[in-house]
Amino acid sequence: MQSAVLTMTIFLKTCCLAECTGISFGDSTPIRVCKNKRIKRIKLFKGVATVGKSTMGYFYGFKLHFIVIDKGEILNFVITQGNADDR
């Protein structure tokens, strides 16, 4: 699955993104790697994933930032570390 991530991202960035219509909305959502009580023991994504905060509290993992046009189509997206600012 890890070997397909780069290929899938390139496909989505080149073929599946919408054209800007003038109205767009941005949002972010956390991608949790594990539960908070297991942060100290987890070895998955060690050195890559970080502790971040969302409106629902703290989490360990990544954030998916995306921009959507008024028709509901994805204009652009990016995955960042959990402690990245939403602005």
Q: Virtual CA dihedral for 32, 36, 39, 43, nearest 10 degrees?
A: -40
pLDDT in tens, 25-47: 998 888 888 888 887 887 878 88
Instruction: Give the pLDDT of residue 1.
Output: 56
With pLDDT > 70 as the criterion, what percentage of the chain qualifies? 98
Where does residue 32 rank: exposed (0-12), middle (13-18), buried (19+ CB within 10 A)? middle
pTM: 0.73
73, pLDDT greater than 80: yes
Give me the residue spans of the domains in the chain.
2-81
